[in-house]
Amino acid sequence: MDNRILCSTGALIGRPNGRDYRLLNECVKYLDCDGYEFMMYDDWYGRTDEVADFFADFPKPFPVLHAEKSVGDLISRNEQGDTERALGLFEENCMMAEKLGSEKLVLHLWNGIDSDKDFPHNIAVYRYMRDIADRYGLLLTVENVVCNRSDPMTHMKELTTEYPDISFTFDTKMAEFHGQLMDICLEENSHIWERVKHLHINDYKGGVMDWQSLKTLHIGDGQIDFEKLSAFIRSAGYGGDITIESTSFDKTGHIFLDRMNEDIRRVRSLIGG
């Protein structure tokens, strides 16, 4: 297998360091990843040309863009005008992805406090989002994000029934939060796994739906059995990209590049790439 190991830009820049995308110019000199998953922030709406131009000569690629999360918030809230607003913002995410040369999008189809309160609506909106992504030549993947009504595996099955050719991003922390991490390995869920086109690797430490523990941890700082999971991933012949999302900055905005490099080396040894 030839898995590209990516680093999420959201693991490096956030509110404590001003969401200053220019900091990535320093990070790229030290991180041993194959590229980056670009985390879109709401600060950058209306500034896609400015941000993308900054990365015109960036030495590593952005194969994946993570759509800004309020898109999922709006779809889930579904008040007057929310869906139209979400689709407009989503298209701006697609524009950014196109400018950065990305191939793939990660989407929170449900998100926030409202989450999956009216999931048939989320299912219905997906078709319009996929049409937009298709126009930009992007593969749209729906992430198994946490739910406050049901659970992500149930929703992935519902989506697969409605859209047999749908693609998913599978996040280890999100699955473990719902006690469903190893369910992806079950034969009965093989039709879900075969639609997984991207992986997010993070650790988690806490009980099922333990909201106080919903943090994005470095590998080894939580309870996930990565040895067992990676054995399944290797045996299943997964050859797609793998993004590490472990939060690597503190409350002051200082970025801990050594910790991220440790995770990158660990994933390479476990899964390959």
Give the pLDDT confidence of 136-163 residue by residue, as tens digits.
999 999 999 999 999 999 999 999 999 9
> Cα 256 from chain centroid?
21
**Does residue 8 surpass a pLDDT of 80?**
yes
Burial class of residue 200, CB neighbours in 10 A (0-12, 13-18, 19+) = buried
Helix axes 119-135, 152-162, angle to 10 degrees: 60
Average pLDDT over residues 36-65: 97
The proportion of the chain whose per-residue pLDDT surpasses 90, expressed as a percent, equals 98
CATH for 5-271, options being 3.40.190.10, 2.40.110.10, 3.20.20.150, 3.10.20.70 = 3.20.20.150
pLDDT at 118: 97
- The string of pLDDT tens digits covering residues 92-143 is 999 999 999 999 999 999 999 999 999 999 999 999 999 999 999 999 999 9
Q: Which has the closest alpha carbon to 19: 216, 249, 201, 242?
A: 249
Distance CA 248, CA 19 (A): 13
**Does residue 219 surpass a pLDDT of 60?**
yes
Per-residue pLDDT band at 2 (split at 50, 70, 90)? confident
Q: Are 68 and 93 in contact (CB under 8 A)?
A: yes
Instruction: Give Cβ neighbours of residue 241 (< 8 Å, ≥ 6 apart).
Output: 3, 4, 5, 6, 35, 37, 63, 64, 104, 198, 199
Residues listed for the chain? 273
pLDDT at 273: 60
Average pLDDT over residues 244-266: 98
Distance spanning both ends of the chain, measured CA to CA: 7
Per-residue pLDDT band at 47 (split at 50, 70, 90)? very high
Distance CA 172, CA 162 (A): 24
pLDDT at 114: 98
**Does residue 30 surpass a pLDDT of 60?**
yes
Average pLDDT over residues 196-214: 98
**Does residue 1 surpass a pLDDT of 60?**
no
With vertex at residue 248, the alpha carbon angle to CA 175 and CA 14, rounded to the nearest 5 degrees, is 90
Distance CA 176, CA 208 (A): 7
To the nearest whole number, what is the mean pLDDT of the chain?
97
Count the Cβ atoms, other than its own, within 10 Å of residue 260: 25
Per-residue pLDDT band at 231 (split at 50, 70, 90)? very high
Extents of the domains making up the chain: 5-271
Average pLDDT over residues 207-228: 97
E runs forming strands in 127-166 = 139-143
